[in-house]
Amino acid sequence: MLVCEVLTLFPGIIDAYASESILGKAQASGFVRVHSINIRDFAEGKHRVTDDQPYGGGGGMVMKAAPIFEAVDRLRLDGEERRILFPSPQGRRFDQAFAEELSLESRRLTIVCGRYEGVDERVMAGLVDDEVSLGDYVLTGGELAALAIIDACVRLIPGVLGDARSSSVDSFSWDGLLDYPHYTRPPVYRGMRVPEVLLSGNHEEVRRWRRKEALRRTLVRRPDLIDRAVLDVEDQTLITEIKKEEGHEQD
Ligand code: 6GU
């Protein structure tokens, strides 16, 4: 079982998300455990202060190292191995390959969430194994990133999504393409028609159309992904067709 521990000043954020929907069911079924730990419980003094002014001056506050080290010391009393992650824009870019790597991790995933303007660098130096970034933008804290990381890992665990979804293209060992468009009833809504091929009942034509639309979207929206996608000779034929079609759109 994947065990995730999230050290945070806002455990309610983690508990709220992790108890709902797929993640909530995955916990109930014993595929994963998500445990929130309040860093404030490990802070000293009557006021349990977790942050302080930065050495060198300047604005903002910095999260103190001690409460975070103390919290991890406590966790380690169980003798379990841990991979300690720190969500931050300075980290290794999180992608599907990183999610697959983490979902196969035998150690516990312990995620330290920073808040405010920063965390004492000795947490990174003395505790953290990997800094992980969701992308080139700044969140106000690590909690959303921690949940995104956990969510992406948990849906890769066999059984979590159930049979139907685990066999669908995007959910297991991603082929690197964007998803094809989806439709459900009615066949016409506000004048917009469901593509005829999807109503045809011809499974082979449906399969080919979906593959082609996945390729089309990827070529148009994220051409950078095409180079690393897993493509066969049919895909090359479809790409040639798409390039003709898309070229003719400009006429
Ligand atoms: Cl992982 N953390 C924070 N705080 N901000 C981010 C991020 C992570 N990834 C992008 N922005």
DSSP string over 144-178: HHHHHHHHHHHTTSTTSSHHHHHTSTTTSS--SPP
- Taking the C-alpha atoms of residue 24 and residue 32, their distance in angstroms, rounded to an integer, is 9
CA of 71 to the centre of ligand 1 (A): 22
CA of 8 to the centre of ligand 1 (A): 14
Element (H, E) at 188: strand 188-189
CATH number for region 2-154: 3.40.1280.10
Residue nearest (by alpha carbon) to ligand 1 atom 5: 139
Amino acid at 169: V
Ligand 1 near 11 CB (within 6 A):
no
CA of 150 to the centre of ligand 1 (A): 14
133 and 87 Cβ atoms separated by less than 8 Å: yes
Mean pLDDT in consecutive groups of 10 residues from the start of the chain, 251 residues: 98 98 96 98 97 95 98 98 98 97 98 92 98 97 98 96 62 82 98 98 98 98 94 97 84 49
Which member of 15, 70, 100, 117 is catalytic?
117
Q: Where in the chain is the domain with CATH 1.10.1270.20?
A: 169-245
Ligand 1 near 118 CB (within 6 A):
no
Ligand 1 near 136 CB (within 6 A):
no
CATH of the structural domain 169-245, one choice from 1.10.472.10, 1.10.1270.20, 1.10.3720.10, 1.10.287.130? 1.10.1270.20
pTM across the whole model:
0.94
Ligand 1 near 89 CB (within 6 A):
yes
CA of 44 to the centre of ligand 1 (A): 28
127 and 171 Cβ atoms separated by less than 8 Å: no
- The verdict on whether 205 is a catalytic residue reads no
- The verdict on whether 87 is a catalytic residue reads no
What pLDDT is recorded for position 115?
A: 84
What pLDDT is recorded for position 166?
A: 60
- The verdict on whether 216 is a catalytic residue reads no
Pairing mode, if any, of strands 108-112 and 2-8?
A: parallel
What pLDDT is recorded for position 162?
A: 84
How far is CA 177 from each of CA 131, 214, 229, rounded to the nearest angstrom?
26, 6, 6
What pLDDT is recorded for position 170?
A: 45
Q: Where in the chain is the domain with CATH 3.40.1280.10?
A: 2-154
- The verdict on whether 175 is a catalytic residue reads no
Which member of 33, 40, 70, 89 is catalytic?
89
Residue to probe by mutation, ligand 1, list 134, 137, 147, 151, most atoms within 8 Å of CB: 134
What pLDDT is recorded for position 174?
A: 85
- For residue 148, the ligand 1 atom closest to its alpha carbon is 1
